[in-house]
Homo-oligomer: A and B are copies of this chain.
């Protein structure tokens, strides 16, 4: 819950476009980051290697708008903002798991098909 996010959390994720996509480019990774409890903006930036603040803000705002996360501002100095998964956000975990299972099981076939297609 309170341990920092692994900077290499997504190091072993497939770089190729998987056929199943949850939300925008970053949505599923953000959800993964929030699994163990609320996280701060800069905390999220760590495993999301190189994401720019603008893009992270856009993704988080879209998720907030759709009711997937809540955004809580604590009136302190320095400022503190925490993002947390909602119940609705958690309902995406099932589809996400199904997506990962599909990828584990069938990505090799897809890559084989691509290689075969490219070899003509």
Contacts and interface: CB of A to CB of B under 8 A. Distances in A.
A109 B67 contact: yes
Interface in A52-85: 64-68
A65 B117 contact: yes
Contact of A23 (B19, B88, B109, B116): B19
A41 interface: no
A67 B99 CA distance: 18
Nearest to A102: B95
A12 interface: no
The secondary-structure label for the interface of chain A is helix
A106 interface: yes
Given A66-B113, A67-B110, A98-B98, 10 more contacts: A19-B23, A19-B92, A20-B21, A20-B95, A20-B99, A21-B21, A65-B113, A67-B109, A67-B113, A88-B109
